[in-house]
Every structure is written in structure tokens, then in C-alpha cells.
A and B are shown apart, each in its own frame.
Chain A
Amino acid sequence: MRIATIFHLGTKELRGLMRDPILIGLIVYAFSVAVYAQTRAMPDALNKAPIALVDEDNSPLSRRIGDAFLKPYFQPPEIITADEMDKRMDAGIDTFALDIPPSFQSDLLAGKNPVIQLNVDATRMTQAFSGSGYVQTIIAEEVAGFAADSGVGTAPTVDLALRARFNAGLNQTWFAAVMAVINNVTMLSIILAGTALIREREHGTVEHLLVMPVTPAEIMLAKVWSMGLVVFIATWLSLVIMVQHVLQVPIEGSLALFMAGAALHLLATTAMGIALATLAGSMPQFGLLLMLVLLPLQMLSGSTTPRDSMPEVIQMIMLAAPNTHFVTMAQAILYRSAGFSVVWPQFLWLAVIATILFSLSLASFRRSLR
């Protein structure tokens, strides 16, 4: 193992990258425009939810309820008839349809405990859950307000002072921005390291390297450091320029600690890229393998939906993926400003996974050269 050789070979990789302006353009796009679009597109959990109102009561109370659904949480309710309701929900126009029965107000005042029907399109999972809770709260508040105005006795007022910590506004962009960057890190490092190796093989240059005093480990390490460095710098710039500056996401924790974790993560993902490249015989095969690996990595690491709600088996399997720990670590450091004393298990996990992936891919690289 010779440091100079690794350095020179890595410099070669960087020079090669410079020669592909389209590729550089794509990298820049991924870390700027793509991050911005993903972040800005993300609605707060309930944003402009389409709701329709079937008002069979048409009383002051029912109108009061209808007026209470406000932007940005809800789109102004469409007043529709009971017949239209099914059709609109079938077509996917409304996520919620609220049916206020005839004489709702009078029944309420008479203490007859009337029933409001709330229809929810359950195929829209995200809105269905949090949204139905919102709808119920809004109705309850309006009814309580109405009851108080009419001087009817109500239940004791126990206030629930709910506060969200670390992200008081439950601002979705905070989360989305960092997760978009993290997904880019994984995607790019696997692609760059893997394709760099396949290109050498398809152009016959690996063979050329092996008649020189260069070992497979040196070839691999050169790709790991050079491609890792590219992604590392892109990540840092993206966090500082895009996330902090343009998107105005306050980063609470230590950026340095996060970048240290990112470096460890990159070690693991670049090694994974090389392992995939040795498995794939050609670029077309690599492209498909990439999809097979990348999609679960991104969707099940906890960056799209919370890990806690995944089945146990999947949670266990995903422990072997570097992403899982990187995402957990990123959330802890960047949002909860956790220090090393809190996230050291994630660092340990990443180090172990990186070591294993690196040894595996080195072995499989050596085998592929036979």
C-alpha cells in the first residue's frame, strides 16, 4: 500500500470527472435545484387538503363549521350535495367529505348527541391520518364556541398545551431539505464509485493498471477517496448554501460532527458502489442493480417514513444499511443538536458497516480481476 499511488490514481479520477461537463452539471443540479424543489414542494403535513361539505342542516352552526376550514391546512370547502360526494371521492378530487345531518344544530342543543359523518379517502395515507384528527378538532372547537355563545353548559376547560420540540412550527422544509441532501449523498457516491470502476473495465484500463506496480486495494482506495471527496464537498456546500442560506433552515447541531459522520457514511457507500460494479458485468446491468439497491435504501432508511412504523423484520434488515444509521444520526445532530456522546452508536455502526463493505468489495474486486 503506497499513499502516493493512491493519491495519483485518485487525482486521475478527479481529472476524468472534470472532463464530463454534463455529469458535473447533474451533480450541481442534484445538490441545488433538486434539493430546493423537493423541499419547497413538501407540504406541511396538512396543506391545502381538499375537503367537501355536504350541509344538510344549513344552520348557523353548520355554516360556522364550514367557515372554520382555513388555508393553509385546508382548501376552502366545496359545498356539494350528498349525491356528488361519492363521485368526487371516486375521482380523487376530495380527500375529506364532511356530512352534517339535517337538524344538527337543534339536536345538539337538545342534547340528542347528533352524529357528523366524516368520509376519508384512506388511499391518501398521509392526509388521511393527521387530517381526520384536525377535522375533528376543528369541529369540536366550533361546537364548543357555539355552545358557549348560546350559554349552554359545557365540559370543564382543560387546556392541552401541545408544543413540538426541535421544530416548533413542525416545518416540513427543515426535514425535507436535509433528507434530500442525504438521499443525494447515497445516490451519488454509489453511482460515481461504481461507474468509475466499470468504465475502467469497459475501456480496458484496469488491465493496464495491473501490469504496473499498483495493487487492487490501491485502485479501490483511490476511487473511494476521490469520489467520496467530490460528494463530501458537494454535501457541505449544499448544506451551507442551499439548506442554511437559501432555504433558511436553522441547523441547531454541529455541522462538523455531521460532516464527520457523512465521511464515514461515504466510505461505506463508495465501497458499496464498487461491490455493485464488480457484481455487474456491464453498465446496463449496473444501472438496474443500482435501482434495486438505491430504492430500498432511500425508502426504508427512515428518511421517507419513520422507521418505527416499519415491520420489525424490515427494521432489522435495514440495520445493515449505512443509510439507516446516517439518517438517525443526521436527525439527532441537526435537529436535536445531539453531541457525540449521544450519536456514538451510529458512528460505531457506520464504521463497522464501512469496514465490512470495504473488505467484501475488495475481495469481490480481486475475484473479478481473475
Chain B
Amino acid sequence: MDLSPRTTPVARLKAVSHAYGKQTALDDITLDIPRGRMIGFIGPDGVGKSSLLSLIAGARRIQKGEVTVLDGDMRASAHRRRVCPSIAYMPQGLGRNLYPTLSVSENVDFFGGLFGQSRAERTSRIRTLLTRTGLLPFADRPAGKLSGGMKQKLGLCCALIHDPDLLILDEPTTGVDPLSRRQFWDLIGDIQRERPNMTVVVATAYMEEAARFDWLAAMDAGRLLATGSPAEILAQTETTTLDDAFIALLPEQRRAAHHRVEHLPPLAQTDGFAIEAENLTMRFGDFTAVDHASFKIRRGEIFGFLGSNGCGKSTTMKMLTGLLQPSEGEAKLFGRTVDPHDLEVRRRVGYMSQSFSLYNELTVRQNLVLHAQLFRIPNADIPGRIEDMARRFQLLELMDALPDSLPLGIRQRLSLAVALVHGPEMLILDEPTSGVDPIARDQLWTELIALSRQDGVTIFISTHFMNEAERCDRVSLMHAGHVLVSDTPDAIRESRGAETLEAAFIGYLEDAIGPTGQTQMAPDKAAQTTESAETFAAIKPRPGFDLRRLLSYSAREALEVRRDPIRATLALIGSVILMFVIGYGINMDVNAITFAVLDRDDTVTSRDYVADIAGSRYFTERPPLEDYADIDRRMRNGTLKLAVEIPSGFAQNVARGRDVAIGAWIDGAMPQHAETIRGYVQGMHKAWLGRKAQEIYGKAASGQFTVETRFRYNPGIESLVAMVPAVIPLLLLLIPSMLTALSVVREKELGSIVNLYVTPVTRLEFLLGKQLPYLAIGMANAALLWLFAVFVFQVPFTGSLVAFTVAALLYVFFSTAFGLLVSTFMSSQIAAIFGTTLMTIIPAVQFSGMIDPVSSLQGLGAVVGEIFPTTYFNIISRGTFSKGLALDDLQASLLPLLVAGPLLLLVSAFFLKKQAR
């Protein structure tokens, strides 16, 4: 692939600027990135490193300037399509583009499919990659249950599956423990040695990592500060370490804010323990996360907690805060056993969880104020307190920003400010410095030390940074739920005879798990596996529509459905239950109408008239009425639906042929109901008159006729027979559309949508691929409903089954496409759920002929009814069930269904974005 000499840059940026609203992320950047090297972007949080990388990866739309990657303009979508198989992009955040419910191998397999690889090729590549990363033993574990380090390795596997020429990694080792980090970089180094043409571009906050790179670009405030090899940068700044060099490169005023962290003054003798843990144990099913951990922490002490990802640190912290109830053992805070209901202790503790858990919908200020209020700080003190926190953590200019728009490091600072806002006596901090740049980290530690030594705050902190561990009074090393060692940093170093704390820890860890070389492969074997991978390398993904990519998304979606059996079950069982409830419940017959009579005549004739009504199966007679007030009272409270008044002298007048009037009142609160009652009463009145006429004039009375009413298709006028075929279209709209309604917006909300941006998959493949599994569920649903209708409800099916099946397929295609359309437009899952509910139930129940025929509707409803496909499937469903119709008879109704689904799908594809903004 790569024929150009190594000297041509892999990417050239010319005057690139980028802004989010008013906030400038990149400011006029011009830069050539050399090919075939290891490139590092370094700089504090929020200086635009991530934006720059996503522009190079093609994941974000270019606003201003020129980006040329692999010899083509990244603004041209044709070029992006051509080069994206040669680029791999791993976004920031632990496993953000992975699918947590899918297993390790399924995740890698999915990415292989997106690059159009055959099954054999994928299997071979997955094996190679998983072996090399040491993930093979965990191939079947869901990605969501992996530790941070393993997630990043898996992300790397997914990125490497298609042998990219340009590998872009955005803070790949943030939040990863030292051991895993070392393995990660060794792996990258090996791969780069094998594929010397591959360029690796990395953004990182770890300066010791950056020191290993070939070429660095230092950034600040959306601008470039310096570029060159680490040695050049050191020479340029006349410093010895990159950390120092980096600080030296910053503008004067930023540098002024930085102070070296003072050495920790010795801890004054304090009385008692702030935290006591005794045989603390936590089990999740078979898995023991924490196994008899014991430690005691004095008041005012800074206690460091170290260990690989997933070793039980966070679980221990959660038990201390009362978030988790220990399976065994006891934890005491301030001498009192941790009780989840003890609100008093909570007020004395500040906790910061590992993942960001503040409100994204509140601004920085609102978050701080809310927490201050919840911790019951007096209202008068709140503004001062917030001001103080904002100054300490440099949040002053960001007070009105939303956390979502802030980079990881600044969000961590906000979390810490929130944890401290109520001035707690104890801080429990779970990796507070992950992803935070060196300067901010030093500031933070200065604060922590001051809190501990001046205010006597006890600090229990977990970290992956060894220089932070050095600053603690004591540290504990945890592995696989056990505390391996717990002592002062110096004592730990001495106990292993190691030069650095890191070496000492790795020594302890290797004792516990055996040598790390286990995960590395013997060189000859590595060469062999790469070779087998090379044989496939010639196959490049085809442009245009590719079934394999589509099926890759289908397989992924199907797996997710399988992993969440409750959803599929709800969809199937739920629709049957709904059919029962609605089929039996909706009843158009009006019977048991309550009525009462005010009979002022009280003769044989009047009683005969009343008997006609009372004898009807539609009416139920209630005690007679006394007067008008009685009518009023009983109709107002709803106990009477019909009141009849027969005037005095009724019988006499009828006999003499004089005009008389009977009064009748119907409860009009439900107009439809009232109409039906009116029809009944009128019918009965006419019948009574006819009978009277015959009595008077004898049989030969002329002017007599009979209306013979024939109820067709449903001779018994059974509601069930009429309703069940109409319920099927309703349910086949609601359930399948709700199934797909979250599929796109969920990827947007959780971050995996980036896979659409940077892989060769097209929008149509993406949507259609997602749709297929739900189409299958929808058809299973249709079959189930049909079977229940015919065999359980015993609704006769008289028409063509082929016609019904074809129509159902087209219709379910429409309803799943409808869900996708909603999902494409909505920004949040909540809005998607609400929108789907709103836009399906009302049109399907009211405007599609389920209750009122579409031809009788008016206004907007009539328009919706005419174009809404449910109308047509209703006609087909009723036609095939009750009217014995076949495919030929239903062509007019099939046509709209045929058009609707594909049309919606195309509209969704049109509005779906292939790049972030």
C-alpha cells in the first residue's frame, strides 16, 4: 500500500481551527506529521489534543483549514472512504467504542466484519491478536466486565484487526495500572517493529511515556508550543525531564501558577483511627472481589491505595462509603460501624468515584451549588464556599460550562471540588488524577497535603502514578482482592531492595501472578503468527454497498438482543398479553345501559312502552324516577344513562290518535356512547309505534315495511372478531418501533457511534444492519399474534395467508424503520422513548381506522390517517381475517406498505451524520 518514501508526512495540517460554539479548541494549527514513527501529542487537559486527533482520524467534520491524511484531502468524503481502512482510531475513555455486553472475541470479530474480512480471516486474526495481548484466556468475557487495562488492550486489538497504516490512540493508558501500561507499550513497540511503515499517533498525559516516542508535539490552548524529538525538546528548553520541559514551554502566567509539590511534612501524632477495616470481604456470586482486607488509617493520614485495574480497590472504597454492604467483615469510620442509613457520617466524608458521576445537564456552578445544598451548608455560606472551590481548582472561567463539554482532566478537578465542597473530615478518592495533566496534578497534591497537614483531613486515595504514591504517608498494594503489602513507601522499597517504588511493586505483583513474560510470546512464534496474518492483508474492503459489513452490524445487534433476553421476551410475551387485554377489553357493543322512567301516566299502554325498553338486552332498568330533581341528581352522578318521561294522559291520547310526546334524556358525556343509545331508543320507539299501528288498523295497514339488517363479515357483531385483526397492526407498530428507537441514539449517548464515523461501514449498511435482527423479532411477533388470534381467540381466518405474511413483512419493515428514524433525530434516549410513544400510539389508535374508519376522519387526523401505513395494514389484516380476501384484492393497500419502509430508511440514512461536528 505504502509506496511513498518515508520522508513524506503521513498527515499535513494547514491553518486548522476548530471551535465548539464560542469555545475555541484549535487555533490555526499548521503541522506535518512524519511517517512511520511514534508520534506523541502532549499538553494539559483541554488544549485540543483530542479534537486534533479526531480531525486526523476523519471522525470530526473539518471547520476551517486543510487536513491531508495519507495523501488526500480529508474534507472529501470519497477520500475518507478510501483511506479509512488504513486508519485506526481509538477514542478517549476506557473502552468507549467497545460494546460492553459483547465478549472480547465478539468485539474484535465485529470490527473485522466492518472491514469486510471473511470469517476465516477474522478467526485467524483474532487468535493472533488475543494471544499477543494476553487476552486469549478472557476471550468469552463480556467487555464491560474487563478491567481498565484489559479494555484498552481490547480496544487496541479492535484497532489493529485491519492492519492500519495510521494508528491513532487518544490517551490509551489513562486510568491503566503501571504493569498493564508497560505491557501495552511493549506490544505497540513490537507491532511497529514488524510494520515499520505504520505511524502511531498518541495523545498522552504521562510524560514518562512520551519520553519513549520518536517525535513530540507539545500543545497548549489550541496552539502548538514545540515539535521535535524528545531530545530536541529537552535541549530547546534546557531541562532534563519532559515534565520540566513541558512546564518550561508554557506561557509565563500559566507557569507562575505552578509550584513544585512540597515534601510531605511528618504527620503529627493524632489520636485514634479514622478508618478501620477488619477482614473486609465482598463476594459477587462466585467471584470474590475483596478477600479479607484489613487496614487502619490514622486521622490526618494520606493513605495511598495501589493495584492493577480490577483488583478490588474501588469495591473496598465503596464498602467504606456504605455504597456496598460487605459480605463479611466490618468497616468503621471515626470509630462507628459503617451504616448505609447513617446520614451523619456521610456529611463528614467526601467521596469521588472513579467514573465521572456528576450531572451533565447542570453547569459547573450548578453542580457545586447543588452539592453544597445537599450537604446542608447554610445558604449564606454557599457563594463564598463555591468561590473558594472554583479558585482552588481553577474552575473560575468554566463556571457556566457544561461538564460534558470539558475534557477529562477538568472534569476530574470538578469532581474533586464537589467532593470537598462541604469541608469533609475524610476524603475517599478513587483515582482522582487519572487523565489529569502534570501541572494540575501537582496543584491537586499541594491542596491534598495542605488539607491533611493543616486541617487534619484523612485522605484515602487510589492512584496509578508512582510519584503520587511516593507522596503518601503509607501505601497499600492490592492484587486480586488481597492486600499484598501495606507500609511507608521507603519501607516497601527497602523490603524488595528495589531502586524505585514501581520496581518494588512490580516485584510484589510478579510474585503474586508469576512473571509477566507469560503474556508475551516467544519471538519465533510471534513471527509465525504475523506471517499468517499477512496472507490476508491484500484483501481490502470494497467500496459501495457491502453485505458483510451490514451483517457485521446485524450480528452485533443480534448478540446484544441475545445478551438481554428480557427485552426479546418482553417484546414477544408482551404483545400477546396486550392482544388479550385489548381484544377482550375494547368492546364496541353498548349494553347494560342504565335507565329509569318517570311515568306520569301509569297505564297499561305506558307500562307496555316501558316494558319494551326494559325487555331489551341493551337496557337495565333502575328504580323509577320521582321528579325532575331526581333525574338531575341521578344523571349527574352518572348512575343513569337514560331517563324517560311519559306524560300523563299518554294512553288516552294514543288511543284517540292525538299527538303526544315522550321525553327522553341521554347522558351526553360520552358522545359516541350516547349516539348508540339514541339509535337504540329510536329503533325501539319505531318498533313500538309499528306494533301499535297494527293493533289499531289491523294487518292490512299500508305504509308498513321492514328493514332487514345484515351485519356482514361479523354476523354476531362480536367485538373480538372486529378488534383482534385491528390489534395486530397496532402491536406490530408499537413494539418493533420501540425496539429500534433506542438503537442509534444509545450508541450516540454511550459513545460507540464513533465506529460509524471511522470505519468503512456506510450509513445504509449501518441502519439496515441494525434493522435486520429487529425485523426478525417483529416477524416472530407477527407469527405469534396470528397464531393466538386464530387458535386462542378463534377468530376465523378466511383470506390468503400469503397476503397477510407479505403485508406483515413490509409493515414490520416500516415500523422498525420508523423507530430508526426517530432514533436518528433524537439527541437523548428519553426523547427517543417519548417521541416514539407519542408518534405511534396516537396515530395508530386514533387515525388508522382501528376504531373510526379513516374515511370519516377530519383535518390533520384525516391526512395522517391517509398516509400512515397502519391504515393499510389494518385494511389487509381485516380483509384477510374477516373478508376472505387474497393478494390480488389487496394490491392497492400493499403498495403504500411497499414504499413506506424503504422511504423512511433512506430518510434516516440521509439525516444520519457520518462525522461528528
Chain B proximity of A319: nearest CB distance (Å): 13
Distance between Cα atoms of A187 and B692 in the complex (Å)? 53
**B778 beta carbon closer than 8 Å to chain A:** no
Give the top 10 A-B pairs by smallest Cβ distance, nearest first: A41-B861, A133-B679, A155-B693, A125-B588, A45-B675, A167-B668, A164-B668, A16-B361, A147-B703, A122-B714
Chain B proximity of A199: nearest CB distance (Å): 7
A contact residues around B719 at 8 Å (CB) = 125
* Also in contact, A298 and B680, with CB within 8 A (given A90-B885, A124-B853, A125-B719): no
* Also in contact, A110 and B346, with CB within 8 A (given A168-B668, A328-B638): no
Contact check, A155 vs B690: say whether CB atoms are below 8 A apart.
Answer: yes
Contact check, A211 vs B679: say whether CB atoms are below 8 A apart.
Answer: no
**A152 beta carbon closer than 8 Å to chain B:** yes
**B64 beta carbon closer than 8 Å to chain A:** no
**B855 beta carbon closer than 8 Å to chain A:** yes
Interface string of B545-580 (1 = CB under 8 A from A): 000000000000000000010110011001001100
* Also in contact, A92 and B349, with CB within 8 A (given A111-B702, A308-B592, A311-B585): no
**B300 beta carbon closer than 8 Å to chain A:** no
Q: Which of these, B344, B669, B705, B714, contacts A143 with CB under 8 Å?
A: B705
**B528 beta carbon closer than 8 Å to chain A:** no
29 A-B contacts, Cβ less than 8 Å apart? A2-B376, A5-B374, A8-B370, A16-B362, A20-B361, A22-B826, A22-B835, A23-B831, A34-B842, A42-B846, A43-B857, A91-B889, A111-B703, A118-B708, A119-B712, A121-B712, A136-B683, A137-B683, A161-B662, A163-B664, A166-B669, A175-B669, A192-B830, A283-B833, A284-B739, A288-B567, A291-B837, A306-B590, A308-B592
B contact residues around A92 at 8 Å (CB) = 853, 875, 878-879, 883
Closest A residue to B573 by CB, please name it.
A292
Contact check, A20 vs B831: say whether CB atoms are below 8 A apart.
Answer: yes
**A259 beta carbon closer than 8 Å to chain B:** no
A contact residues around B827 at 8 Å (CB) = 20, 22
Interface string of B658-677 (1 = CB under 8 A from A): 11111111111111111110
A-B contacts, CB under 8 A, total: 496
A contact residues around B587 at 8 Å (CB) = 305, 309-311
Distance between Cα atoms of A213 and B339 in the complex (Å)? 12
B contact residues around A16 at 8 Å (CB) = 359, 361-362
Chain B proximity of A151: nearest CB distance (Å): 10
Contact check, A113 vs B375: say whether CB atoms are below 8 A apart.
Answer: no
Contact check, B722 vs A43: say whether CB atoms are below 8 A apart.
Answer: no
Q: A125-B722, A154-B703, A288-B735 are in contact. List 13 more A-B contacts (CB 8 A).
A: A4-B376, A5-B376, A38-B846, A124-B853, A127-B852, A128-B717, A155-B701, A156-B654, A172-B671, A191-B837, A195-B834, A204-B357, A291-B738
Contact check, A144 vs B833: say whether CB atoms are below 8 A apart.
Answer: no
Closest A residue to B827 by CB, please name it.
A22
Binds A, one of B318-326, B518-526, B803-811: B318-326
Contact residues of B between 466 and 518, Cβ < 8 Å to A:
none
Contact check, B837 vs A187: say whether CB atoms are below 8 A apart.
Answer: yes
Chain B residues touching A, range: 35 or more
Contact check, A133 vs B371: say whether CB atoms are below 8 A apart.
Answer: no
**A37 beta carbon closer than 8 Å to chain B:** yes
**B615 beta carbon closer than 8 Å to chain A:** no
* Also in contact, A116 and B707, with CB within 8 A (given A92-B879, A164-B674, A310-B585): yes
Interface string of A328-351 (1 = CB under 8 A from B): 100110011110001000000000
Closest B residue to A195 by CB, please name it.
B830
Chain B proximity of A286: nearest CB distance (Å): 7
Contact check, B828 vs A23: say whether CB atoms are below 8 A apart.
Answer: yes
Interface string of B694-718 (1 = CB under 8 A from A): 0011011111111111111111010
**B741 beta carbon closer than 8 Å to chain A:** yes
* Also in contact, A136 and B707, with CB within 8 A (given A8-B374, A292-B574, A308-B592): yes
**B254 beta carbon closer than 8 Å to chain A:** no
Closest A residue to B715 by CB, please name it.
A122
Contact check, A40 vs B692: say whether CB atoms are below 8 A apart.
Answer: no
Contact residues of B between 59 and 118, Cβ < 8 Å to A:
none
**A50 beta carbon closer than 8 Å to chain B:** yes
Contact check, A309 vs B588: say whether CB atoms are below 8 A apart.
Answer: yes
* Also in contact, A211 and B351, with CB within 8 A (given A92-B875, A175-B669, A288-B567): yes
Interface string of A25-54 (1 = CB under 8 A from B): 011011001101110111111111110000
Contact residues of B between 300 and 322, Cβ < 8 Å to A:
321-322
**B584 beta carbon closer than 8 Å to chain A:** yes
**A210 beta carbon closer than 8 Å to chain B:** yes
Contact residues of B between 441 and 484, Cβ < 8 Å to A:
none
Distance between Cα atoms of A310 and B689 in the complex (Å)? 32
Distance between Cα atoms of A345 and B858 in the complex (Å)? 37
Chain B proximity of A305: nearest CB distance (Å): 5
Q: Which of these, A47, A48, A336, contacts B669 with CB under 8 Å?
A: A336
A contact residues around B658 at 8 Å (CB) = 156
Contact check, B879 vs A336: say whether CB atoms are below 8 A apart.
Answer: no
Q: Which of these, A15, A161, A284, contacts B663 with CB under 8 Å?
A: A161
**B829 beta carbon closer than 8 Å to chain A:** yes
Contact check, B830 vs A191: say whether CB atoms are below 8 A apart.
Answer: yes
Q: Which of these, B341, B577, B657, B845, contacts A304 with CB under 8 Å?
A: B845
**B240 beta carbon closer than 8 Å to chain A:** no
**A268 beta carbon closer than 8 Å to chain B:** no
Contact check, A140 vs B686: say whether CB atoms are below 8 A apart.
Answer: yes
Contact check, A40 vs B586: say whether CB atoms are below 8 A apart.
Answer: no
A contact residues around B582 at 8 Å (CB) = 295-296, 299-300
Chain A residues touching B, range: 35 or more
B contact residues around A144 at 8 Å (CB) = 703
Closest A residue to B847 by CB, please name it.
A41
**A9 beta carbon closer than 8 Å to chain B:** yes
Distance between Cα atoms of A11 and B734 in the complex (Å)? 33
Contact check, A15 vs B366: say whether CB atoms are below 8 A apart.
Answer: yes
* Also in contact, A213 and B346, with CB within 8 A (given A36-B860, A89-B712, A332-B637): yes
B contact residues around A34 at 8 Å (CB) = 838, 842
Contact check, B360 vs A215: say whether CB atoms are below 8 A apart.
Answer: no
**A367 beta carbon closer than 8 Å to chain B:** no
Q: Which of these, B362, B374, B847, contacts A212 with CB under 8 Å?
A: B374
Q: Which of B682, B696, B712, B853 is the most central at the interface, judged by chain A CB atoms within 10 Å of its CB?
A: B853
* Also in contact, A165 and B635, with CB within 8 A (given A152-B703, A153-B703, A187-B838): yes
Contact check, B841 vs A294: say whether CB atoms are below 8 A apart.
Answer: yes
Contact check, A157 vs B659: say whether CB atoms are below 8 A apart.
Answer: yes
Distance between Cα atoms of A239 and B586 in the complex (Å)? 27
**B851 beta carbon closer than 8 Å to chain A:** yes
B contact residues around A81 at 8 Å (CB) = none
**B347 beta carbon closer than 8 Å to chain A:** yes
Contact check, A285 vs B852: say whether CB atoms are below 8 A apart.
Answer: no
Chain A proximity of B736: nearest CB distance (Å): 11
A contact residues around B837 at 8 Å (CB) = 187, 191, 290-291, 294
**A256 beta carbon closer than 8 Å to chain B:** no
Distance between Cα atoms of A8 and B379 in the complex (Å)? 12
Contact check, A41 vs B669: say whether CB atoms are below 8 A apart.
Answer: no
Q: Which of these, B321, B564, B673, contacts A282 with CB under 8 Å?
A: B564
Contact check, A110 vs B702: say whether CB atoms are below 8 A apart.
Answer: yes
Contact check, B705 vs A116: say whether CB atoms are below 8 A apart.
Answer: yes
**B532 beta carbon closer than 8 Å to chain A:** no
A contact residues around B847 at 8 Å (CB) = 41
Q: Which of these, B347, B366, B589, B637, contacts A338 with CB under 8 Å?
A: B637
Distance between Cα atoms of A131 and B703 in the complex (Å)? 23
**A246 beta carbon closer than 8 Å to chain B:** no
Chain A proximity of B85: nearest CB distance (Å): 31
Contact check, A213 vs B374: say whether CB atoms are below 8 A apart.
Answer: yes
A contact residues around B349 at 8 Å (CB) = 211
Chain B proximity of A280: nearest CB distance (Å): 8
Closest A residue to B680 by CB, please name it.
A133
B contact residues around A294 at 8 Å (CB) = 837, 841
Contact check, B856 vs A49: say whether CB atoms are below 8 A apart.
Answer: yes
Contact check, A50 vs B670: say whether CB atoms are below 8 A apart.
Answer: no
B contact residues around A30 at 8 Å (CB) = 838
Contact check, B593 vs A212: say whether CB atoms are below 8 A apart.
Answer: no
Contact residues of B between 321 and 359, Cβ < 8 Å to A:
321-323, 325, 340-341, 343-344, 346-347, 349, 351, 353, 355-359
